[in-house]
Amino acid sequence: MAGTGKAHLRSAGAVLRAEDLVVEFPLRGGKRVHAVSGVDFDILPGETLALVGESGSGKSTTAKAIVQLEKPTAGHVHFEGDDLTVLRSGALRQVRSRLQMVFQDPIASLNPWREVLDIVAEPLQIWRRGTRREQLDAARAAMRSVGLDPETMGGRRASELSGGQCQRVSIARALMLEPRVVICDEPVAALDVSVQAQILNLLGDLKAQLDLSMLFISHDLAVVRMVSDRVMVMYLGKICEVASAASLYEAPSHPYTTLLLGSIPRLGQAPAAPGYGLGTEIPSPVDPPSGCRFRTRCPLATDLCTKEEPVLKEIAKDHYVACHHRNQRRPDADQR
């Protein structure tokens, strides 16, 4: 499953493109944490790419490497013609104004002692765009665009807001500099289900209104289905499947993707019986398995999976899979 290859990359027109992205963290004794191992992807203007996988698959590290919060060990990140991995601090700072991030913990990402209106206006203050009155007017407009009344909420502190309100403030702040791409790192994971739906609808509306491109990171495939145009499934630092959202949900072709989709709770159905696969522990990124990294949990694994890493291959239009045995199924697959 977890494989390599660039067949899924589009030839031109991407606003954001990562190639051969590697992020490793050194440990004592010469060992290294292999967090991201040769990841490639691109995002077209106005497109939402969802990056999904379990905790520990390298999703958040990939996001941080894109904006250079974690310096990649190797590889390149191209954004609007600039290679972010070689830019110096001043030039990188300029680029980051067009590449914004919404973090997973909405409460921790805001200063609890500052008033909301000042938090939203801060990007314009830092970049010295407009007068103070113009900055505050723009902040009020941004608050309204995310469903917050600036007259009621603007004078409150972040510590007085709910998690959903804090996430709306974070989104408003991210939009202040009119970015081309917004990276959403698990933006609804810490929220109640009803609030999740509100935030997801909000992101969809803003994307359409502002023609945003988005990288949406989540471990929840049910959430991803609501917002994504294209989905990339990641496991232990590697890509295993890339497809349009419709194709992935209608015809998942990788064992790991199938197991992830099977784990989604459904109303009126009893929980699936425990079996081989996601119930077992994810291997350590310090010493990942040889060959296919998913083989230690895969119901289809053979000796070939131990010896040879699979390569992403196109199996249908805009549907790519890295698996030696993608056409095979477990005998009890229909009963799971």
Q: Are residues 313 and 242 in the same domain?
A: yes
The residue-averaged pLDDT of 26-45 equals 94
The C-alpha atoms of residue 203 and residue 142 are separated, in whole angstroms, by 13
Q: Which domain holds residue 94?
A: 1-98+195-266+275-326
Q: Are 219 and 321 within one domain?
A: yes
Of 115, 145, 178, the domain-final residue: 178
User: Does residue 92 share a domain with residue 40?
Assistant: yes
pLDDT tens digits, one per residue of 217-250: 998 888 888 889 999 999 999 999 999 999 999 9
Q: Give the residue from 136, 188, 134 showing the smallest Cα distance to 163.
A: 188
Residues 307 and 211 in one domain: yes
Domain identity same for 89 and 204: yes
Q: What percent of the chain has pLDDT over 90?
A: 68
187 within a domain of the structure (yes/no):
no
Closest CA to 5 of 315, 331, 334, 219: 315
Residue 297 lies in a domain: yes
The size of the chain, in residues, is 336
Which of 244, 208, 229, 220 lies closest to 317, judged by CA? 244
Listed range (138-152, 186-200, 218-232, 239-253) with the worst mean pLDDT: 186-200
Whether 190 is covered by a domain: the verdict is no
73: its two tokens = 């060990």
- Per-residue model confidence (pLDDT) at position 182: 96
- Does 214 lie in the same domain as 142? no
In a domain, 222, yes or no: yes
DSSP code for 229: S
Looking at the predicted structure, is the pLDDT value of residue 269 above 60?
no
Query: What is the bridge-based pairing of β-strands 16-26 and 74-79?
Result: antiparallel
> For residue range 153-164, what is the model confidence (pLDDT) as tens digits?
999 998 899 888
Does residue 319 share a domain with residue 203? yes
Q: 332 in a domain, yes or no?
A: no
Q: What is the model's pLDDT at position 223?
A: 84
Helix residue ranges, H only, the chain: 59-66, 89-96, 116-126, 132-145, 150-153, 163-175, 193-210, 221-227, 245-250, 255-262, 303-307
Based on the fold, state whether residues 252 and 307 are members of the same structural domain. Answer: yes
Nearest to 158 by CA among 179, 141, 144, 172: 172
- Residue where a domain terminates, one of 144, 178, 212: 178
pLDDT at position 290 over 70: yes
End-to-end CA distance of the chain: 20
> Which residues lie closer than 8 Å to 313 by C-beta, 6 or more apart?
5, 7, 320, 321, 322
Coil, strand or helix: which one is 328?
Answer: coil
For 39, phi then psi, to 5°, come to -90, 140
Q: Do 205 and 290 have their domain in common?
A: yes
Q: Are residues 19 and 162 in the same domain?
A: no
Helix (H, G, I), strand (E, B) or coil at 248: helix
Based on the domain organization, do 91 and 213 belong to the same domain? yes
Angle CA(284)–CA(222)–CA(53) in degrees, nearest 5? 15
Instruction: Give the span between the Cα atoms of 27 and 25, in whole angstroms.
Output: 7
Q: Is the pLDDT assigned to residue 310 strictly greater than 70?
A: yes
Q: What is the mean pLDDT of residues 183-212?
A: 87
pLDDT value of position 267: 57
Confidence category of residue 333, pLDDT binned at 50, 70, 90: very low
Residues 6+ apart with CB under 8 A from 304: 291, 324
Assign residue 72 the CATH number of its domain.
Answer: 3.40.50.300
Number of domains into which the chain is organized: 2
- Band (266; pLDDT cuts 50, 70, 90): low
pLDDT top residue among 281 and 270: 281
Give residue 223's Cα distance to chain centre: 12
Q: Which one of 118, 147, 178 terminates a domain?
A: 178
Looking at the fold, whether 88 and 220 belong to one and the same domain comes out as yes
pLDDT digit string, tens, across residues 62-116 = 999 999 999 999 999 999 989 999 999 999 999 999 999 998 888 888 998 899 9
pTM above 0.85, yes or no: yes
Between CA 312 and CA 135 the distance in angstroms is: 47
59: burial class by Cβ within 10 Å (0-12, 13-18, 19+)? Answer: buried
